[in-house]
Structure 1
């Protein structure tokens, strides 16, 4: 976040982004080519919300790009994003993937899936998140930290569906089944399956696509099977990457044009092909690797409802000592 504010120009569109530059640069280039609007980007792994709060009305930020429903919800709950009503955004983005007052909009979906060893787990042997707590998986499950944003969102979704008491029982059972202390990222869980450390893991779907498309990572990925959980019930939990217009955006028309472009067919197809994510816009075809996994039923519980339980989920992770 060290880029100077003076580097931002009026009549451009100024973006604060949690998304890595290489993931969004092709989209930015396409937008600028189509509209003639220059996009200025500051990238940070953390601290964007705090910077917006500190800058207040003097902030040059027009758009915030981020990942995870928790960060999107914080933008709205801390009154850092502008409520907007766009016919284009409302048409392109299903209601469950946007804030009811237009304070944020989902741009891509990433399914929180289960990975299993092709050699040591039979197909169909595990089909639900709830199965992760079954004692048949004792010492056989790997996950990253329970406090990582995507796991917090998954636990929050379990609370939304089952209540706190039942979810805590489930989380304790999952902890008892861990093969090792929670660690690493989602791709590390897939590698752990290939290395025989565990037989079952939890991760985001697009990492699987990234690994399969990379010759250096393809081997470990091919040792694992992707499972979309809860297909006979509520469906698989999904999280989002998304965007919001900053509360004090100086270039609101350009900001709106940028968001509407990102929700359009061209940008949605680029998201799918470049990042192996699922577009939020209906009718856009996933990347060929992703299409090979087949269609899946997504949990249609609105993500702003799930976000209400994030704080309870974090406290639960501490209470059960999940990361210990």
Structure 2
């Protein structure tokens, strides 16, 4: 089939590579414009652009895919199907109707759960024990189209968004190749989503990323791993942002010296230093050990090293 591929981040790269060896023809790769990145704010290409150029594929970077100029350009390409993987722009009805086989999407959740922009993050934040990828026939709604294929993976307590992202990217690539073969052969079965079970995974905001120490230890643990390795959960140390990259369960008997009952501490209060680990912080129902962090303006480091150069003492508050 003649394929137009639309994708932008790292997650889409394995799918593009799977198409290159699938026997189908990739006529154009559509991705987002280059964006400023890093301290120097230099324009940086999206990962899909880099992968496409390395493969010798044509790249198109429209600012807005819904313009009449873009719609006309897509029509001229005569695609038989459009494959969308984390592209970052919604497609209009006009675009959805261009290809003979329509448009399909590789979505990083088990639909109808976690429709939206950040399905992996929210699956981890909500403590899911499994997640997966769904190949979906696109319609005008937000991830509401009929399902063609899906695959599951377990989510362990040690997983974070980064590890799950990589597992799902590989899973999605395999499912995409299988789905295209089913579609081309006329054997694809489209299953409507059970809309009564849907949930959304909205874009993350600073409000979502801030740690509320009054929540349970499990909720905070899931927030931290759900925001690792990007964008990072944070708290405030004085007037500076303190990113928390790693936490682990702890008990007060790991803290040297006399420790009053946890009920006497307020959430966010430092309980003390835990040798060779970091420091303990009171939560809404216990405590957590902070093991890896990054103070605003500094590098990411192990908490056990951080406490040697900073005044992290019992009674200090993180808020």
- The TM-score bracket by the shorter chain reads under 0.3
> Could you state the TM-score of these two structures normalised by the residue count of structure 1?
0.27
Question: Per residue, is there more helix in 1 or in 2?
Answer: 1
> Could you state the TM-score of these two structures normalised by the residue count of structure 2?
0.27
> Which gives a bigger RCO, structure 1 or 2 (Cα 8 Å, sep 6+)?
1
